[in-house]
Structure 1
Amino acid sequence: MVKQAVILCGGFGTRLGELTKDTPKPMLPIGGKPILQHTIECLKAHGITKVFLCAGYKADVIKEFFSETKNWGIDIEISIENEPLGTSGAVKFCADKLDDEFLVIYGDVFIDFDVTKLIGAHKKNNEEVLATILTQESTHPWNSDLIQTDKKSTITQIVPKKEKEEGKHYQNNGNTAIYVMSKKILEYIPSGKSDFMKHIFPAALNAGAYLGTHSLESNGFLRDMGTPERFFIVEKYLRDREEINSAHENPKTINTVFLDRDGVLNKEINLLSKPEQLELLPGVTEAIKLFNDNKIKTIVVTNQPVIARGLATRETVENIHKKMREMIAAESGGKIDAIYYCPHHPETQHGEGVTELRCGCDCRKPKAGMILAAKDEHNIDLAGAVMIGDSWTDMYAGKNAGVRTILVDTGAGMIKENMQYDKKYSSLLEAAREIVEGKSDGNIRKKRI
């Protein structure tokens, strides 16, 4: 099992200006403690017992903080570069102390994810694997280095952002600056300054070496803290995380329902893109009115990749929603309180569609972004909310938001093996009746997926 981690802390943090004048970037506070402390606590929680801090700029600040008498519960060793060695040069600097396998993490990245999943993926790879890179869908693939893989997640090419061929489309696998490595990779690292992405990984690929990838799970979170704006994003994430954990542990009587659209409210049509294609499912209008009459907020959260694919405009999707509202009102007098939709699609290798929407995002289910946006804008207590959907993305989105989950049988049935949910019903109407009768109240405990 991987027990060691190397954290690279030597950068100057020039993009942050005055913030890093007297403090190295990994030591900037977020949520009441340094970025680096968050990283170490996450690593400790997932079984890492030894951490090497490769410091450079303002190394004395790091050394003083981690040399205090506080018991960190993890063995911390600090090495100081006399001159910048780059990301891979810094790792080679402590080579004689490393185990056969170890983690490498950039010190200016805030992390909160299951590290054991990455380690497990590395273990499943070919025995000759030199490194497994944690990837995630880039939110700006047109301006990012992108990692290309085969069907087995083996890296075939690393494409620098400045070397992309015009007219060619690439897979949207962004580098997170987090790796599990075999000590054998040190053979590719020269003396002096070098960088993993610019020099070492390309050299290893050219030599026929095996490099693997693992995608960040939907409930994982990380951010490169390279700009002041990202500090606000992480601060909000920490506040949301506290609410999510509280909702998970202390559910209340349901007063808000988050509803998927296709397969829950309307008949499932692959890539529905025209208002005339919309057909409500039986009992839906009655279910919405039942929620309304019992003062239960009804909020739709739906992935609409038809916009990114270029099959429909935002205006068309909003017209579809306008028609849906009108149909519900006409049939039962019911109303939907709000509709949130994600227009993105993360795949970039196909070429068609709207370029700026072909990217990763925080709103596309199974991520919880739409639920959290609704929480903020409608003052929703997540402890009293439930996600109702027909697929694994809905169940995972609910879980990631800390709310209870109900699966209905009216959709396409995109179900994952061993997928967990709190309740299952034949339709939205059956679920609505159970909820208002109190059978899906706060006594149902949240199950972990």
Structure 2
Amino acid sequence: MKTVILCGGLGTRLSEETHLKPKPMVEIGEKPILWHIMNIYSAHGFNEFILALGYKGEAVKKYFLNYYNFQSDLTISLKTGKITASKNCYRDWIVHLIDTGLNSMTGGRLYRLRDKLKNETFMLTYGDGVSNVDIKKLVQFHKSHGKIATVTAVKPSARFGGMKFNGDRVIEFTEKPQTGEGWINGGFFVFEKAIFDYLKGDETVLEKEPMENLAKDGQLMAYKHEGFWQCMDTLRDKQLLESLWENEKAPWKIWKD
């Protein structure tokens, strides 16, 4: 099963870092947060990724173009220019790097990938959030209910999109409630191909009409995760994640080095 990671936003609230690089390339423990997210999926056996690029997408391309060589020992002939790399890279990842437009919204980026995903179930998440969610159990839950979409619901502060439930079925999806605390959209989605019927083009914001309409149609289910989840929306968030990593208390590190 493929995993789409949205990597194209401007990251304006983290402008201290993102004026030079896209937010998914901002580092936690000297590794891009994108690398951390991909390791979460890989730890559960999901190793094929589609990275939906936009703002400064060339930085993501350069990272993966050089990844194999940077993880390997190199022998270089200065006479011929021939480079021989030993196979020290132990991550068995397939990475598709797809330009989805500079100004496309979240749903627009997914819509541009429809030809690559139109015949299969797939996962999707944001390029700025980490969690210790059990991806295998998430997928099992999605397969068990037979609906179009599953969103991972988490419970941090109330500055993100909120959800109301009837059991596990989402009956209302609201973008960024002003007051109160409760379950919010934590990303880590699973979608059936019918999601593309809810998307229209580059201006589509996934978290607005598509998710709201899925909820109205009874096609949006929530996988409730009460464990760790944290996005990197601000410099303060970055510093929190950096501190957890440096002190070897990062709950999202579920993989082995």
**Global fold match (TM > 0.5):** yes
| Separation (CA, whole Å) in 2 of partners of 1:21 and 1:212 | 36
Conserved 8 A contact 1:92-1:186? yes
In the alignment, the residues of structure 2 paired with residue 73 and residue 27 of structure 1 have an alpha-carbon distance, to the nearest angstrom, of: 20
Match among 170, 173, 186 for residue 158 of structure 1 = 173
Q: Secondary structure at the match of 2:102?
A: coil
Secondary structure of the residue aligned to 1:5 is: strand
The aligned residue for residue 174 of structure 1 is 184
Distance 1:23-1:243 versus aligned 2 partners, 3 A rule: closer
Give the 5 Å matches for 1:10-409: 10-68=8-66, 70=68, 71=89, 72-98=91-117, 99-125=119-145, 127=146, 129-139=147-157, 141=158, 143-151=159-167, 153-161=168-176, 172-206=182-216, 208-218=217-227, 221-241=228-248
> Structure 1 residue 145: deviation in Å?
2.5
- Which amino acid letter does the alignment assign opposite residue 189 of structure 2? Y
Distance in 1 separating the partners of 2:218 and 2:187 = 19
With the length of structure 2 as denominator, give the TM-score of the two structures. Answer: 0.82
1:204 to partner: Cα distance: 2.5
Q: Which has the higher strand share?
A: 2
Q: Deviations over 1:368-397 (max 9, x none)?
A: xxxxxxxxxxxxxxxxxxxxxxxxxxxxxx
User: How far off its partner does 1:69 sit?
Assistant: 5.0
Alignment-derived partner of residue 428 in structure 1: none
The SS at the match of 2:190 is strand
Contact kept, 8 Å, 2:51 with 2:95, in 1: the verdict is yes
Query: Does the residue aligned with 2:110 lie in a helix, a strand or coil?
Result: helix
Q: Deviations over 1:110-137 (max 9, x none)?
A: 3343211211211221x2x111110111
Aligned length: 229
Q: Percent identical across equivalent pairs? A: 27
What do the CA deviations read for 1:252-271 (whole angstroms, capped 9, x no partner)?
xxxxxxxxxxxxxxxxxxxx
Counterpart amino acid of 1:53? L
Structure 1 residue 195 displacement after superposition: 1.4
Amino acid aligned to 2:212: P
Paired residues of 2:152 and 2:189 also in contact (CA < 8 A): yes
Q: Distance in 2 between matches of 1:61 and 1:144?
A: 28
Question: Does the 8 Å CA contact 1:148/1:171 hold for their aligned counterparts?
Answer: no
Query: 2: CA distance between counterparts of 1:45 and 1:196?
Result: 27
* Residues 1:159 and 1:47: Cα distance change in structure 2 (over 3 Å): same
Q: Distance in 1 between matches of 2:239 and 2:165?
A: 33
Contact 1:133 1:175 in 2 (8 A): yes
Which string of whole-angstrom CA distances, capped at 9 and with x for unpartnered residues, describes residues 57-79 of structure 1?
11110001011251441100001
Residues 144 and 54 (structure 1 numbering): CA distance in 2 closer, same or farther, change over 3 Å? closer
Distance 2:250 2:151 in 1: 31
- Contact 2:107–2:202 (CA under 8 A) maintained in structure 1: no
**Structure with greater contact order relative to length (CA < 8 Å, sep ≥ 6):** 2
Q: Deviations over 1:211-247 (max 9, x none)?
A: 10011143xx332111111112112322454599xxx
CA deviations on 1:142-174 (whole Å, 9 max, x unpaired) are x442100012x100111334588xxxxx77111
- d(CA) in 1 for partners of 2:189, 2:172: 17
